[in-house]
Structure 1
Amino acid sequence: MAIPWGTIKSLVIFFGPLLLPKAIGYYRRVRAAPRIHGLKVRPLPAPITRAIAILLAVAAVFLVRTLPIFSPENIFQTTQSRLQIPADVLFNRLSALRPGNTLTATDLALRAKFASLESRLLYLQHGPSVLATCPFCTSDEPRSYLYYAIPDMLAPHLFNLLIIAFATSSLFTSQSLAAASTSRFRSAASLAAVGFAFLDLYWVAAYNHTANARALRLGEIDAFFWTARAVRYGAAALVDALLALLLYLAATHRAFVTPPSPADRVDNVARALGTIKGVVNAAGVVKNTVLRDEELRARSMSYWAHEVRLMREMMEEREVVEGVNDALLNRIDIRGIERDAEVYAKAVLMPTGEVKEEVVG
């Protein structure tokens, strides 16, 4: 049963001012999470790339399945006939459109069923395949067609659920970090797929197929089966596309990031300190090598003598002298700056205990 537009408008007016600020706040927190946790945008890992490619490919197939060219034929639309047209006239029109003017086996099965209006109404609810192939269904028991149609209805949802499980499984993503990124959204995506399946089943079961009995013209016919089929495949494509987007945002640290654990932070700091220690040791080795070699030591002393001479010449330039005088006239605490620089230099070159004693003294 469709929800009236007035009810939807009233719900939006009532809940909109309450939910919109919360949604905006949640969006801002999601966008700011990487910066807060100190995480930078990174390239997309190869396992996540494969998972996203599979999800987008399946979503594209689902979208293609919604096109009319890939949908089962609606003989009323094909023949431009109204619902109450006599069966012989309807299938004579249909045979004129068939190759060789010959009806198919499905057409013949439908022709036998279309003697009653109830069968035509059930055709619009469940489609041609169910009405033509069900061996135990009768128009006197409309629910029998629903029971027969359930496997075909649930097949796209079950297939999509398998694709979601495969694309987000640790066996497929292999790497631990990639597996952690995909497994975070597996439960939500699976629940969404199962939820759409139950909604689809309820929608078809609750549909009032007798409403089409009042349709006197072709434009008034509600082709429910074709509408529900398009929505079914479109919902599956939407779930896959959203899951692919979430995986992309999380894997590249653009959003939905998980802050590193304390153990990971300690490990990262230890790794960074090890790298810095290696650089300092390498610099010490280079310095010792330069000081022990006469030629390199002479070149080093010549370089620094040249740099000192350039610095003196620079300090004697007019612009530099005027800048220094201007700084002194503006009461910049040059001595304080020099004192802070001296304390900083001692803190770098001397043990911590000696610096404390000297500062206290």
Structure 2
Amino acid sequence: MAEFNISFGTIKSLLIFFAPILIPRLINFYRGLRVTLASRPAPRPLSTNASRALNILFFSALFFLLLSLPFNPHAPSPSIFGLTRSRINTPTDVLFHRLARHRPGNVLTEADTLLRTKFTSVGARKVYLRYGPEALTGCQFCSLDNINTYLLYYLPFNSLLPHLLHMVIIGLVTSAPFSGREVASWRNKFTVGGLALAAIDLYIVVTYDPVQSGPASVRAGMSPPTSLYHPITLLRPLAFAIFDGLCACLVYLSATNRFFFTPPSQADQVDQMVSASLASLSGTNSKLHAASVARNAVVRDKVLKDRDDTYWQTVVAMNADPSKAEHIGNSNGDGGEFPTSIWEEEEVVRAMSRTMAGQGGVDLAQLGVNASEYVNGVTAGLENTSGSAEPRGS
């Protein structure tokens, strides 16, 4: 291999040439980053949609991580060349005699015996190192005269299908109906990253040669060749797990406004204003309905109606002549005097006494809960204006 010796003078020359170009760009990037961080809003909790997307990414990363472990049930067995420390041109009998020492009872398995019949040439051994034992022993249309036939047998289920499954997961996570607009904004970037990962995988599988891609000792036939099938079967799900972990990190940072924050568009602002207006109108409509119910109850009851009329006569008289307001406010029109409070009326006192003694057949606890919930809903936000409608001097 060629050796590259870079002197200090060369490094200095490169810095002198590139520094005027790179340093201003780095300064502008730093300033823009500071402005972005200073103008970002406060971190917010995760939304339900973002949490759903993060859960899917977490379980996906965990699943692929388990598949990347060498002791999982679906992990491939080690290469027989690495297991027996044999070279690419080691005689078949010697190779499998060494392999038998690593089998239970020093006896080859049926798969080993079938594989032994296929190890007829160096080309077959290269196919084993690139595409695994199943491609060499199970492909019915493959031929050593055309190595690409083994590639066609290997790619669909060993490379393309895992990447297709991974892309389906990425598509589901970045779907707007499933995870919301914030996570869906990463859809293009995550898709390009997944396709780039698949392209790298395909490139390695297509161009790898067990002998020519190895060190000089392997090319000279003096050391065991390096298998591609066995490590890449474990590295592929590991790459998926790392990729999903990075995607989850980006989703979390953007969903909580910790980083990658973009101001809402005009359409989003309009939607927020419309949602707030609808919520306000709904609350107002509920309060108006409650007021209408209370007003109808007052109007339909003769005693309450008389008291309501007397109250408003008091208000009108107060504005006209305060001396008359006192007389009207203390008289019921028949010469009788009104009690100062409704709780002082004789009928109300007797009814409360019977109820508190348990003779009224009323569940006081449940009644109190229902009444409190209703009153709190009707009077929400009116605490600061509770005295604005009271008549002066009452």
- TM-based fold match above 0.5: yes
Q: CA deviation at 1:24?
A: 7.9
Whole-angstrom distance in 2 between the partners of 1:146 and 1:266: 54
Q: Which has the higher relative contact order, 1 or 2, with Cα contacts under 8 A spaced 6 or more apart? A: 1
| Aligned-partner SS, 2:65 | helix
Query: CA 1:284/1:54 → structure 2, altered by over 3 Å: closer, same or farther?
Result: closer
Q: For 1:1-361, what aligned pairs fall within 5 Å after superposition?
A: 29=32, 32-33=35-36, 35-36=38-39, 39-70=41-72, 71-73=75-77, 74-151=79-156, 152-173=158-179, 179-211=180-212, 212-218=218-224, 221-262=225-266, 264-265=268-269, 282-286=383-387, 292=392
Q: CA deviation at 1:247?
A: 0.9
Whole-angstrom distance in 2 between the partners of 1:25 and 1:230: 42
Whole-angstrom distance in 2 between the partners of 1:16 and 1:227: 40
Whole-angstrom distance in 2 between the partners of 1:163 and 1:61: 12
Cα deviation per residue 1:214-261 (whole Å; 9 max; x = unaligned)? Answer: 33123xx22223343344323322321121111101111111223123
The residue number in structure 2 matching 1:359 is: none
Q: CA deviation at 1:126?
A: 1.6
Q: Percent identity?
A: 35
Whole-angstrom distance in 1 between the partners of 2:118 and 2:18: 49
| Aligned-partner SS, 1:236 | helix
Query: CA 1:224/1:54 → structure 2, altered by over 3 Å: closer, same or farther?
Result: same
Cα deviation per residue 1:93-119 (whole Å; 9 max; x = unaligned)? Answer: 323333354433432222111121221
The residue number in structure 1 matching 2:298 is: none
Q: CA deviation at 1:265?
A: 4.6
Bigger fraction of residues in helix: 1
**What letter matches 2:85 in structure 1?**
Q
Query: CA 1:21/1:131 → structure 2, altered by over 3 Å: closer, same or farther?
Result: farther
Q: Which runs of 5+ in 2 are unaligned?
A: 213-217, 281-378
Cα deviation per residue 1:311-342 (whole Å; 9 max; x = unaligned)? Answer: xxxxxxxxxxxxxxxxxxxxxxxxxxxxxxxx
Whole-angstrom distance in 1 between the partners of 2:108 and 2:29: 58
Query: CA 1:22/1:240 → structure 2, altered by over 3 Å: closer, same or farther?
Result: farther
| Aligned-partner SS, 1:68 | coil
Whole-angstrom distance in 2 between the partners of 1:23 and 1:288: 64
**What letter matches 2:261 in structure 1?**
V
Query: CA 1:159/1:114 → structure 2, altered by over 3 Å: closer, same or farther?
Result: same
Cα deviation per residue 1:259-296 (whole Å; 9 max; x = unaligned)? Answer: 12346557768959x8xxx999753434665x9477xx
**What letter matches 1:235 in structure 2?**
A
Whole-angstrom distance in 1 between the partners of 2:4 and 2:49: 47
| Aligned-partner SS, 2:261 | coil
Q: Contact 1:31–1:255 at 8 Å: present in 2 too?
A: no
Number of matched residues?
278
Q: CA deviation at 1:130?
A: 1.6
| Aligned-partner SS, 1:69 | coil
Q: Contact 1:189–1:243 at 8 Å: present in 2 too?
A: yes
Q: Contact 1:84–1:216 at 8 Å: present in 2 too?
A: no
**What letter matches 1:140 in structure 2?**
D
TM-score, normalised on structure 1? 0.64
| Aligned-partner SS, 2:101 | helix
| Larger-Rg structure | 2
